[in-house]
Chain A
Amino acid sequence: MPDFAEPLERLITEFKRLPGVGQKSAQRLAFHVLRAPRENAERLAGALLDVKDKLGLCRICNNISDADLCPFCRDPGRNQSIVCVVEEAHNILGIETTRQYDGLYHVLHGSLSPLRAIGPEQLRIKSLLDRIAAGAIQEAILATNPTIEGEATAVYLAKLLKPLGLKVTRIGMGIPVGSDIEFADEVTMWKALEGRREL
């Protein structure tokens, strides 16, 4: 590896820490910053610091927010009786793009994964139970990922929430739109049949 000047080397090392960025990509990014005007570099540095300084978690739903409450919890126009439970804050974006859901959210910040030492205590489950105990929520939609960990989390949550008397639903799983049934595997097909609906 060639020896770069110390500040450039340091920038390359920092870029390499980012997920999915290897040595070559880090060098490209670092040289881009080097060649760019000073204002661009200042904007980048400012944005990085703002993310760390100005963002926190919503007091109610644990979504990432720049205020005490996130935009969804602040909005009185949203349906206050439904909560959609997701693994990560960025999962909300996928649901919001549909424009079909107007309820609230709850972010768990992970899924049950013994292999990664994540048990129920490491997830934001207690705050979910507290919200439900407050009484306004009538339905919980479990929108964890359709993976082994996501499904295990959904099953675990369903066992906790059902005795509290609210409706517990799971997002549909199965054949992706635009694909062919012929290529679906056993689990995908099973989940698609299990989640079938009357027309």
Chain B
Amino acid sequence: MAVRVSEAIVLRTYPYQEADLIVSFLTRDQGKLRGMARRARRPKSRFGAGLERLSYVRMSYYLRENRELATLDSCELIRSQFHLLSDYSASVVLDYIAEVTDNLLPPMERNERFFRLVLAVLDHVHAGRPGAVWQAVSYFSLWAVRLAGWMPQLEACTGCGLSLEPPERAFFRRDADGVLCGHCLPSGRWELSAESRALTHAMYRLPVAEFASHPWTKETAADLRRFLVQRIERAVERSLTTAPLLESC
């Protein structure tokens, strides 16, 4: 059984037995994996700070055929998120990214674009510009839904096919498949503003770093975030724990 070495992002850990951890991690070349890190909670653990949430590491592990859990051998820390802890909202955003990634991606299915997305948004948060965490969470949510294949088209009503080019208004609801016009969804709805729809097109075209100079607050594209969180919750068939905390930051 040969040791594999993969670039990986640690998504979540679960305490197991006295000092072990079960680790969920996203690798660049093998997709999302789970592994057992023996004695990882001891002070002299060989994993050090490498198994903290969203640490970017070079992970060494053994993967046996027909075994769900890999055995983690060691990890070399490439980049840690410890520097971001002075900002509580950044901390919640990182937990949100970890939760969505862990829930949305199927195990052992390579998805390098998703891996690069997570790295790009983490870099953007590290830049520490005003509004960067809200840009990162909006950009990440949009591309996460798109890469998972759950993004509906926003240009036409999914009910009647009416074009939703502005000034036509677009609405959404938790149980609807996409966006709808005012006739198809007369009540119990949220509006997806024309500005937010225009932003989605910009985010499809440009890398997240290009939004650095774009003025952005928590209120910017808040309707789009709500729409995307609903898409994600529909896809994973459960409520996201971090989503309400994110909006209360």
Query: Does A98 count as interface, using CB distance less than 8 angstroms?
Result: no
A115–B88 contact, CB under 8 A? Answer: no
Contacts of A117 in B (CB 8 A): 241-242, 245
Chain A residues numbered 119-148 whose CB sits less than 8 Å from any CB in chain B: 119, 147-148
Task: Name which of B64-72, B91-99, B181-189 contacts chain A.
Answer: B91-99
Count, chain B residues at interface, CB 8 A: 32
Contacts of A119 in B (CB 8 A): 245, 248
Contacts of B16 in A (CB 8 A): 20
Given contacts A115-B98, A148-B81, A188-B49, contact A20 B17 (CB under 8 A): yes
Given contacts A114-B241, A115-B241, A176-B43, contact A148 B53 (CB under 8 A): yes
Contacts of B76 in A (CB 8 A): 185
A185–B53 contact, CB under 8 A? Answer: no
Query: Does B105 count as interface, using CB distance less than 8 angstroms?
Result: no
A116 contact from B43, B241, B246, Cβ within 8 A = B241
Query: Does A166 count as interface, using CB distance less than 8 angstroms?
Result: no
Query: Does B124 count as interface, using CB distance less than 8 angstroms?
Result: no
Query: Does B204 count as interface, using CB distance less than 8 angstroms?
Result: no
B241–A185 contact, CB under 8 A? Answer: no
Task: Write the nearest CB–CB distance from B238 to chain A, whole angstroms.
Answer: 12
Count, chain A residues at interface, CB 8 A: 26
Give Cα distance in the complex from A117 to B242, angstroms: 7
Query: Does A186 count as interface, using CB distance less than 8 angstroms?
Result: yes
Contacts of A179 in B (CB 8 A): 44
Chain A residues numbered 89-117 whose CB sits less than 8 Å from any CB in chain B: 112-117
Query: Does A36 count as interface, using CB distance less than 8 angstroms?
Result: no
Give Cα distance in the complex from A187 to B81, angstroms: 9
In the complex, which residue of chain A has the Cβ closest to the Cβ of B42? A176
Q: 18 pairs across A/B with beta carbons < 8 Å?
A: A20-B17, A114-B91, A114-B95, A114-B241, A115-B241, A117-B241, A117-B242, A147-B52, A152-B85, A176-B43, A179-B44, A184-B48, A185-B49, A186-B49, A187-B49, A187-B52, A187-B77, A188-B49
Give Cα distance in the complex from A33 to B16, angstroms: 25
Contacts of B178 in A (CB 8 A): none
A114–B245 contact, CB under 8 A? Answer: yes
Contacts of A34 in B (CB 8 A): none
Query: Does B200 count as interface, using CB distance less than 8 angstroms?
Result: no
Contacts of B43 in A (CB 8 A): 176
